[in-house]
Each structure stands twice: as structure tokens, then as C-alpha cells.
Amino acid sequence: MKVYLLQRVGMFFLTVWLGMTLIFIIPRLAPGDPVAAMVSRMTAQAGQVENSAEIIEAWRARFGLDDPLPIQYLRYMKNVFSFRLGYSLAYFPTTVEEMVRDTLPWTVGLLALATVLSFLLGNTVGALLAWRGTPGLARALLPISLTFTSIPPFMLGILLIYVFSFGLEWFPAAGNVARGIHPGISFSFLVSVLHHGILPATAIIITTMGFWALGMRGMMITTDGEDYMILAEAKGLRPRRIFFHYGVRNAILPQVTALALSFGGIAGGAVIIEYIFTYPGMGYLLYQGIVNNDFVLIQGIVTIMIVGVSLAVLIVDLLYPLIDPRITYRKGSYG
């Protein structure tokens, strides 16, 4: 148990370190630096920029770009672990932490809800598809729910906006709450949040649940051939009990591992979903960073995303022994 715990925590730090190192090193391998790029864009806009050499000089010194790379790297690491992400370039006195703090709850809320629902729905559909006791009608209808499986969430999102916001005008096309409603625990606030959140959440759920359904179906078919299933049947257990306690109980384990591995992809997809729906979460903030060439903001948000995703994986990993008792007996291996 101790070994497992240490391995998982070690994995968390390795992932965070790897992601941060990637976003530190690769941009610096590329020709040019952000300050020079920024000034050249100012030149393109204004025709000419006075004292551009001095501006570059001053900004480079200010962001510590003149220091040797290892020093910059260590400073970056130190800042991240003390949660200092720096000042936004575009909204100067505001710090990146403040901007993230305002947007993070929306992203986490939307993603957590959509991911949990998608996981539950998908696995239910997959298990029923593989189960011999499923009624014929359900067996014929269930595959319809997999129609959108291979489509990226944001493309379905565009379609949903067109049909339900532009065409039918049932749901708003943008934002997270209606104007004039103050955040707080009130009925109207809750309704407004749901009203705005339904389309983006639906786009994520419908496009991702098929992935879980297919995985679950495969696992259920595999468990179906196991000896303990035949024994359970021979004992005369009720089909429902066999389904949940013998089939689903065993087939769900690899699905949970797959869930942990897919958090990174989910977070990436959410960036584009928020951008399509102008949903003021971290993903939309990231898009604004891109538009404003706000490199400090971009780097800060992506760092938070890396830490957040790794943390989510760690939590799933730590909960895993609760659903798979075998894990405590294993030594020197994981996953």
C-alpha cells in the first residue's frame, strides 16, 4: 500500500515537472523571444515604434530574459510551487492568480459535471449492449446514442448553437449567467447557470460517452467468458445480481484507469468548448491570452491546467484501491 501511494505521488510530481519543463523549454528553442515578437507586432500596428530597442531591453530585463536559462528555469519552478504566476501583460496590475481564481470554478464545475455524467451514461450503455439479458428493443435503440462518438465536442457545440440558440432560441449562445443576476445561492442564479451550461455540457457528454460505452462493452464481453460468471449462474443467482456484482463490478476497473488517463484530453477539449460558447472559464481566458499575446497569462493558465489534471489523476489513483481490493497485495507494479 505504501509503495503504491509513493508511486502515485511520485507520478504526480513527474507529470507536473514534465509538463512545466516542456512549456518552458520548447518556446525557448524556437527562434525569437516573446518581447521581440511583441514589439514587432506593435510595429506592424502602429507603423513605427519609438525607442523599440530600449523597450525590448527594458522588458527583457523586467521578465528576467537576460539571465542564463538554468536560472530562469529555477526561478520559474520556484514561482510555480509558491503559486506566483506573475502579472498579466494585457491587464497589467491584475495578477494571473486573480484571473484564474475568478474563472476556475466555472471550468471545474462544467467539466466535473459533464465528465461524471458522460462516464456514468457511457458505461451504462456499454454494459447493457454487452449483456445478454438486455431487452431486444433497448439493444436496438442503444447504439443510436453512439452516433456522435467520433465527432470532436466543439463541432457538435457549433451545431447545437446553430440549432438551439440561433434557430429555436431555447438556450443562450454565450456566457455563464444572465446579466443582472448576482452570484449567490439563489434559485434564479441556479436556473440561469443551468440554462447557460446545458449546451456546452451536452456537447461534451454526447461526443465522449461513446468512448466509455465501447470500452465497457469490450470489457463486459471479456468478463462474460470468465469462470466466475458461469459459477454465479450455476449457483442460481438472480441475473440482476450477476450483472452488477459480477459483470459491471469487474469490467469497470479498467474504465476507471482509462478515465484517469483521459483527463488531459478532456481539459484540452474544454478549452475549445469554452471558446466556442464564450463560456467565461479558464479555457476562454486562455483564448483571450492568445488574442492579446499575453504570454504570462498563457503560461500561467497552462501551468494551472497541468497541475489540475495531474491532481485529478492522483485523486482517481488514490481512490482506486477502494474499488479494486487486489491493489493492496501488489508490489512493484501499478496501473
Partner 1 sequence: MDRLRSLLENHWKLGLGLAIVLTVAGTGLMGHLVWDVTRARVGSTELNLPPIWVRNPGPMFPKPDPTSPLGSDSSGRDMLALLIAATPNSLRVGVVAAGVGMAAGIFLGFTAGFLGGWVDNTIRVVADAVITVPALAVLIVISSYVRQIDLNNMAILLACFAWPAPTRTIRAQVLSMRHRPFVQMARLSGASSFEIMFLEILPNLLPYLAASFTGTVSASILAATGLEALGLGPTRIPTLGMTIFYAIKASAILRGMWWWWGFPIFMLVLIFSGLFLVTIGLDEIANPRLRGAPRR
Binding site for partner 1 (CB under 8 A): 11, 14-15, 18-19, 22-23, 26-27, 30, 34, 37, 130-132, 149-152, 154-155, 158-159, 161-162, 165-166, 173, 214, 217-218, 221-222, 224-225, 260-261, 263-265, 267-269, 271-272, 275-276, 286-287, 289-291, 293, 295, 298-299, 301-302, 305-306, 309-310, 313, 335
Q: Which is nearer to partner 1, 177 or 267 (CB)?
A: 267
Calpha distance 327→295 (Å, rounded): 43
Closest CB 242 distance from partner 1, rounded Å: 13
Q: Which is nearer to partner 1, 121 or 270 (CB)?
A: 270
Calpha distance 302→283 (Å, rounded): 9
Query: DSSP per residue over 72-97, as a string?
Result: HHHHHHHHHHTT---B-STTTTSBHH
DSSP class of 330: -
Run of H or E including 178: none
The alpha carbons of the chain give a radius of gyration, in whole angstroms, of: 24
The conformational region for residue 67 under phi > 0 = left, psi -120 to 50 = alpha, else beta, is beta
Give the angle subtended at the CA of 194 by the CAs of 191 and 200, to the nearest 5°: 160
Q: Is 211 in contact with 149 (CB distance < 8 Å)?
A: yes
Closest CB 69 distance from partner 1, rounded Å: 15
Helices (H), 235-294: 239-241, 249-276, 282-291
Q: Which is nearer to partner 1, 155 or 181 (CB)?
A: 155
Closest CB 287 distance from partner 1, rounded Å: 6
Closest CB 214 distance from partner 1, rounded Å: 7
Calpha distance 290→271 (Å, rounded): 12
Closest CB 167 distance from partner 1, rounded Å: 9
Q: Which is nearer to partner 1, 124 or 165 (CB)?
A: 165
Closest CB 188 distance from partner 1, rounded Å: 25
Give the angle subtended at the CA of 180 by the CAs of 178 and 181, to the nearest 5°: 70
Q: Which is nearer to partner 1, 121 or 156 (CB)?
A: 156
Run of H or E including 127: helix 96-130
Q: Which is nearer to partner 1, 151 or 318 (CB)?
A: 151
Closest CB 96 distance from partner 1, rounded Å: 13
All residues at 6 or more sequence positions from 71 whose CB lies less than 8 Å from its CB, including other chains = 64
3 state SS of 279: coil
| Residue 71: other Cβ atoms inside 10 A | 11
Closest CB 159 distance from partner 1, rounded Å: 7
Q: Which is nearer to partner 1, 176 or 299 (CB)?
A: 299
Q: Which is nearer to partner 1, 189 or 214 (CB)?
A: 214
